[in-house]
Amino acid sequence: MNLGTPLTKIFRISPAKQKTLQRMGLLTIEDLLYHFPTRYGDFMQVNSIAELRDGDTGNIYAEVMGVRARKTFKSNIPITEAILKDGSGEELRAIWFSQPYISKMLRTGDLARFSGTVSVKKGQKMISNPEFQRVNSIPLEKSGSLFADGSKEMEMALFPIYRESGIKNGKISSKWIYHKVKKILSNRDFLENLADPIPEKILKKYKLPSLKNAFIYLHLPRKTEDGEIARKRFAFEEIFFIQLVKNIEKEKYKKSGSFIIKPNKEIQKKFLNSFDFKLTEGQSETVASILEDFKKGEPMSRLLEGDVGSGKTIVAAAAAFFTAMTKPKDQSFGRLQVAYMAPTEILAKQIFKEFIKILGSHGLQIGLLTSKDVQKFPSKINPKESTKISKKKLAEAILNGEISITVGTHALISKNIFFENLGLVIIDEQHRFGKKQRAALRSKPEEKKEAIKSGKIRKSEKILKKGLADNDNILPHLLSMTATPIPRTLALSLYGDLDLSLITDMPAGRKKVKTDIFIDSESHRKKVYGEAQKELEKGRQMYVICPRIDDPDPDKLQALNVKSAISTKASLEKDEHFKNYSIGLLHSKMKKEEKDRVMEDFLNNKYQILVSTSVVEVGVSVANATVMIIEGGERFGLSQLHQFRGRVMRSSHQPYCYIFANGKSKKTVDRLSVIKNAKNGFELAEADLKQRGAGEILGNKQSGISDLAMDALKNLKMIEAARKESELMAKNDRYQKEEELVKKLEKIKKRIYME
Ligand code: ADP
Ligand code: MG
C-alpha cells in the first residue's frame, strides 16, 4: 500500500460510491489524503440534551444508559441503539445504521462525547450516526470548566469535516471519508514508508512538518494549530512546486540562446525623438530593463504590467524598434523581425496605426495581419500611407524578412506565415498564453521548408543569393503586456518564469477619473443620469457596464439584484434623459464579428451609449467616451472596476465614473470607496487580495490552483521562501538528484499544463 494505491484495492466500495469518487477525483490514497477538510467540527462546543432542537448539530457529553443491536423490520438493516443521558437530566436516543460493531464499542455506563444531527419525532429526541469518543469524565456544566485542567480530552476535541458529494447509495459523506482516512493513517507500514517530495533540509529550514506528520495533523488534529501547521506545509508544497516547474522552464530556455540586441546611443536617441513627450519613470525603467535583457544572449521573458493608459505601447514600440534596427546573427544585411499579437482586430489596427505614427519615419516596413484586413506600410504610391495587399504577398514579404514589424491577431499563427529572423514576440493582453504563442510563432523550420518546396510560398531569389544565415532554432525574445494588475506576490508565484516590470505612474497631465459610488435608488439614478446627459450633450459618449447578460434565474435570490445588459438597455431607451441618443449592446454571447462591429460603430459614434457586460475589450481606445456607469458594482472586485473605468481615460476631457451598488449596508459602499483615491491598479489589486482572496484577481476557476494555495498567496513570506528554494533547486538541474521530488514534479506538470 502506497500513495498510488487505488482506493478500490484496499476498501470494498459499491459501484455507486465508486462513481461519485471518480467524479470527485478521488481515486487513489493520495487523492483522498489530499482531499483536505474544509473545516473542523469542535467537540468542545458542548450542548446539553435539554437544549437540543430538531435539525441542530449536537455536541454532547453523556453517559450511556443502555445499548442494543437489532435489525430493522422491513429492510433487515443492522442498527445499534443507545440511550444517552447528560447533566441536564434529559435522555436522547442515539442510533447508528449499518454499524453493528458499535454495540461492541459502547457499554452501558460509558462516558463519551457524541456529535451528530438531532431530529425530534413525536416528542422524542434522536441523534443519528453520531461520531463519538469515550472520555474519562463529563463536564458538570456545559461551559466545560472541568476541562480547564488541560486533561487529554481537551486535546482530542476536533474532527475533520470534508466536502461531500453524491446522493443516496452513492453518497460520499464527510464521515465516510473520515473513516477511510483514519484507516489509512492507522497503517504503520504505510506511514513509515511515506516518502516526502520536499527535501528534508527545506522542511527543517522553514519548520514545516514532514508529509507523514502533515497528513496526521491535517486529518486527525488534536488542536486547532495542528490543522494550521499542516495547511502551511501543503500550501508551501503547492506553491513551491508550481514555482519549481516555472523555474525549470526558465533555466531551460535560458540555455536555448537568443539574438543579442544592442542598439547604440544614436539609435536610442532616434527612438526618443520619434514622439513629442517625455517617457514616464515607469516607461524609462522598463525600457532600460529590456535593453539589459537584450544584451545577454538569452531569450528575454518579460511581463509588463501597467494600467490602461499608462503607455505600454511606447515601451513595446521601443523594443520593436531596437529589434528591427538589428541585423540577424551572422548576416551582413537585413533586420530582425518583430511579431506583435493583439487580442482583437480593432486593437491590432490601432497598434498598427500607432506604430506607423511612431516608427514610420525610420525606413521600416510594417505589416498588418488579421483574418479580414491585410496591409503593408509604406505604400509604394504614397510612402506616408499604408496600403491593402493580399495575404499571400504579405506572407512572402515576412518570409523574405522584408517586413520588420508585423502587427496582427491570432492570424499571425496561421498556416504559411513563416518568419525569417524572428527576434521579438510581443503579446498584448494575453499574458497567460505568452509562452505558448512565442513557441507557436517561432520559425518552424520543417514546415517552412515543406511550404517552400511545394510552392505554397515563394522565397525571393534575390535574397537567397545574398546568403541567409540559418537562425531558425533561435528562440525570440518575449514581451508580454497586461493591464490586469496582479500583485507582485501573485505574479511571482504564477508567472515565476517571467521577469516583471511594473509601470505604476501615469503620463503627466492625465485627468483622474472622477469616481462616485451610489446606493442604487431612484433619486441617485436621476442625479447620475442627469450628469451623464450633460456630457452626452457636449458630444461625449458613455459606457454602461452590467454584470450579467440575461435576466437572472428568479430562483436565485441574490441574482435578483443583478442588472442585465439587455434589460438595462431597454430601460435606458425609455428614459427621458437619453431619448436623443442611440444605444448599442455588447455582450459575451455575441459572435466575435458582431462584437467587433458594435465596438467599431461605437468608435465611430454611431452609438453614443454602449451598454455592455464586462466583455468590453480591454485597451480599445474610444477617446470620445468620457462617462461610465457601472451597475451592480458590489459584484466586482476593485481592480476589475478600476479596469473598467480605465476605458474612459483616453481623452483630454474630464472623465467620470458612476458606480451603483446594491446593498443596504454602508459597508458595501465603504469597501468600494477605496477606488476613489487609489493611485493605480496595483494598490487596488493588493486590496482585493486582502479583502477577497486571490481568486478574485485571477478569476476563480482559471488558474488551476487549489483554494488552499490561493489562500496562502496572501502570505508574502511563504511565497518568497518557496521562490528562493525553487530557484535554487532549478539551478544546474539540482532537482534531478531528488528522486521523490522529480516524481511529484511530473504529476504537477501534468496538472499545470492540463489547463
Ligand atoms: P496602454 O498602456 O493602455 O497600452 P497606451 O500605450 O495606449 O496605453 O498609451 C495611452 C496614451 O498615452 C497614448 O495616446 C500615448 O500616446 C500616450 N502616452 C504614452 N506615454 C506617454 C507619456 N510618457 N507622456 C504623454 N503621453 C503618453
Ligand atoms: Mg495597450
pLDDT digits (tens, 9 = 90+) for 446-505: 888 888 888 888 888 877 777 777 777 888 999 999 887 777 777 777 777 788 899 999
Residue 704's pLDDT band, with cuts at 50, 70 and 90, is: low
Which atom number of ligand 1 is nearest to the Cα of residue 354?
A: 16
Mean pLDDT of 421-441: 80
Q: What is the pTM of this model?
A: 0.72
Q: How far does the centroid of ligand 2 lie from the alpha carbon of residue 180, in Å?
A: 53
- Give yes or no for residue 350 CB within 6 A of ligand 1: no
| Residue spans per domain, the chain | 40-161, 267-295+311-482, 514-679
Q: Are 112 and 147 in contact (CB under 8 A)?
A: no
Higher pLDDT pick, 483 / 605: 605
CATH topology of domain 514-679: Rossmann fold (3.40.50)
- Supply the pLDDT for residue 664: 67
- Supply the pLDDT for residue 119: 92
Candidate from 130-144, 233-247, 354-368, 656-670 with smallest mean pLDDT = 130-144
Which atom number of ligand 1 is nearest to the Cα of residue 646?
A: 3
Q: What does 287-349 look like in DSSP terms, one character per residue?
A: HHHHHHHHHSSS--EEEEEE-TTS-HHHHHHHHHHHHHTSPPTT-SS---EEEEE-SSHHHHH
In the chain, what percentage of residues exceed pLDDT 90?
Answer: 46
| Residue from 274, 277, 428 to probe ligand 1 pocket by mutation (most atoms less than 8 Å from CB) | 277
Mean pLDDT of 40-58: 80
How far is it, in rounded angstroms, from Cα 454 to Cα 623? 47
Q: How far does the centroid of ligand 2 lie from the alpha carbon of residue 622, in Å?
A: 12
For the chain, the 3-state helix, strand and coil shares in percent, each to the nearest 5, are: 45, 20, 35
Q: How far does the centroid of ligand 2 lie from the alpha carbon of residue 337, in Å?
A: 20
Q: How far apart are the first and last CA of the chain?
A: 31
How far is it, in rounded angstroms, from Cα 751 to Cα 705? 9
Q: Are 362 and 405 in contact (CB under 8 A)?
A: no
- Supply the pLDDT for residue 140: 52
Note the ligand closest to the C-alpha atom of 310: 1
Helix (H), strand (E) at residue 268: helix 265-272
pLDDT tens across 167-187, in order? 889 999 888 999 999 999 999
What is the chain's Cα-based Rg? 32
How far is it, in rounded angstroms, from Cα 10 to Cα 432? 41
User: Residue 502: which residues within 8 A CB-CB, separation 6 or more?
Assistant: 282, 304, 305, 306, 488, 682
How far is it, in rounded angstroms, from Cα 383 to Cα 291? 30
- Supply the pLDDT for residue 699: 55
Mean pLDDT value across the chain: 85
Residue 558 has pLDDT above 80, yes or no: no
CATH topology match: 40-161 vs 514-679: no
Q: What are phi and psi of 300, to 5 degrees?
A: -70, 145
Q: Are 161 and 37 in contact (CB under 8 A)?
A: yes
How far is it, in rounded angstroms, from Cα 522 to Cα 505? 38
Higher pLDDT pick, 694 / 441: 441
Higher pLDDT pick, 237 / 649: 237
User: What Cα–Cα distance (Å) separates residue 717 from each residue in 167, 487, 532, 713?
Assistant: 42, 14, 46, 10
Helix, strand or coil, per DSSP, at residue 243: helix
The CB-side HSE value for 55 (13 A sphere, CA atoms) comes to: 0
Residue 647's pLDDT band, with cuts at 50, 70 and 90, is: confident
- Supply the pLDDT for residue 561: 32
- Give yes or no for residue 663 CB within 6 A of ligand 1: no
Q: How far does the centroid of ligand 1 lie from the alpha carbon of residue 281, in Å?
A: 13
Considering the domain 267-295+311-482 in this protein, what is its CATH number? 3.40.50.300
Q: How far does the centroid of ligand 1 lie from the alpha carbon of residue 291, in Å?
A: 20
- Supply the pLDDT for residue 556: 45
The CB-side HSE value for 394 (13 A sphere, CA atoms) comes to: 29
Architecture of domain 40-161: Beta Barrel (2.40)
C-alpha cell at position 675: 477606488
In the chain, what percentage of residues exceed pLDDT 70?
Answer: 90
pLDDT tens across 295-316, in order? 999 999 999 999 888 999 999 9
DSSP state of 636: S
How far is it, in rounded angstroms, from Cα 28 to Cα 8? 8
Residue 225 has pLDDT above 70, yes or no: yes
Residue 145's pLDDT band, with cuts at 50, 70 and 90, is: very low
- Supply the pLDDT for residue 45: 67
Q: How far does the centroid of ligand 1 lie from the alpha carbon of residue 576, in Å?
A: 37
User: Residue 37: which residues within 8 A CB-CB, separation 6 or more?
Assistant: 160, 161, 162, 218, 219, 227
- Give yes or no for residue 280 CB within 6 A of ligand 1: yes
Residue 204 has pLDDT above 90, yes or no: yes
Note the ligand closest to the C-alpha atom of 340: 2
